[in-house]
Amino acid sequence: MTNTLSINIEQLRFHWKNKNTSNSAVLDIPQWHVQQGESIFLHGPSGSGKSTLLNLIGGILSPTEGKVTLLDTDIHQLSSTQKDRFRAKNIGVIFQQFNLVPYLSVLDNIRLGQQFSGAKYDLSRIQDLCNSLNLTIDLLHQKANQLSTGQQQRVAMIRALYHRPPLIIADEPTSALDTDTRDEFIQLLLQEGQQNNCTVLFVSHDKPLATHFDRSVALGEINHAV
């Protein structure tokens, strides 16, 4: 699997259809690809289009031109329902903060992701993930909003990893964490990603973190838009 392409972007152009903004492209990426199993650190200043790129990869936004291929699937050929299903099954997403539905228990949060992905329910897998991420099992029955931010981020990681998606997108998942928890979080993410042969696309503006990853990419290098 290591030789297949996880993300393959060709001739991608994107600009907002909003009347108020000029028609100049936000993104113009002639070519960019990521190998399956690679861990990528994508950085760039705020407003440089990182989130837009993630939304294009996640199938939330559609490119103005060009195509985005994930695991041999041109995702923008899919209908919106198919895109949602594809995302649920193949991409694990971890946000900066507020990853969980606050009023559901931790277990229900994880199960929510599991059900959308179509994976089978396996409590022992959840328990295993809890163990490897240093979360005690009894946390599973607590309400998500009772957890600390660090714990919440790790639960989000369990949810993202549970169904073994080929790609994990993490959008500044550590910016709300302190330095110690941040390094531990990245270590765990990469370790689990490796074990599951998972591509990790990690977005941050915190450049020093790049040392943890296989490859570091500045958005400005691949994006030709001004």
Partner 1 sequence: MLYKLAWQSLLHRRTTALLTIFSIAIGMMIMLSIHHIQQQTKQGFTNTLSETDLIVGARSGPINLLLYSVFRIGSASNNISWDSYKTIKRHKNVRWTIPLSLGDSHQGYRVIGTSEDYFTYYRYGQKQALAFAEGQPFSGVYDAVLGAEVAKKLGYTLDQKIVLSHGVAKVSFTHHDDKPFTVVGILAPTGTPVDQSIHISLAGMEAIHIDWQRGVPVAGIGSGLKISAEEALTKDLTPKNITAFLVGLDNKMMTFRLQRAINDYSKEALMAVLPGVVLSELWQIMGGVEKALAFIALLVIVASLLGMVTMMLSTLQQRQRELAVLRAIGAPPWFMFCLIQLEVLLLTLAGLIAGTLLLWLGMLVAQPIIQDNYGLLIESNPISYTNLLYGSGILGIALLMACIPAFAAYRQSLGQGLTARA
**Which residue in 109, 106, 98, 115 sits closest to 163, CA to CA?**
115
- Closest distance of CB 2 from partner 1, Å: 26
- Closest distance of CB 115 from partner 1, Å: 5
Q: What residues contact 216, with CB distance under 8 A and at least 6 apart? A: 40, 41, 43, 210
Position 42 contacts partner 1 (CB under 8 A)? no
Binding residue for partner 1 (CB under 8 A) from 116, 139, 205, 216? 116
- Closest distance of CB 35 from partner 1, Å: 22
Position 111 contacts partner 1 (CB under 8 A)? yes
What is the C-alpha to C-alpha distance for residues 12 and 33, in angstroms, rounded to an integer?
12
Tokens for 114, please give them: 């599991």
CB 193 within 8 A of CB 200: yes
CB 65 within 8 A of CB 13: yes
Angle formed by the axes of helices 149-162 and 123-132, nearest 10°:
130
Structure letter (DSSP) for residue 205: S
Size of the site for partner 1 (CB under 8 A): 35
Position 171 contacts partner 1 (CB under 8 A)? yes
Q: What residues contact 83, with CB distance under 8 A and at least 6 apart? A: 59, 75, 76
Return the number of the residue (30 or 118) whose C-beta is nearest partner 1: 118
State phi, psi for 225 to the nearest 5 degrees.
-70, 145
Return the number of the residue (85 or 212) whose C-beta is nearest partner 1: 85
Return the number of the residue (94 or 217) whose C-beta is nearest partner 1: 94
Tokens for 4, please give them: 């297949």
Position 51 contacts partner 1 (CB under 8 A)? yes
For residue 226, the tally of other CB atoms under 10 A from its CB is 7
Segment contacting partner 1 by CB under 8 A, of 25-33, 39-47, 107-115, 120-128: 107-115
For the segment 56-75, give every residue that binds partner 1 (CB under 8 A): 58, 60-61
Return the number of the residue (104 or 225) whose C-beta is nearest partner 1: 104
Return the number of the residue (22 or 81) whose C-beta is nearest partner 1: 81
Binding residue for partner 1 (CB under 8 A) from 35, 69, 73, 97? 97
Tokens for 70, please give them: 């994930």
* Binding footprint of partner 1 on the chain (CB under 8 A): 51-52, 54-55, 58, 60-61, 80-81, 84-85, 87-89, 93, 95-104, 108, 111-113, 115-117, 159, 169, 171
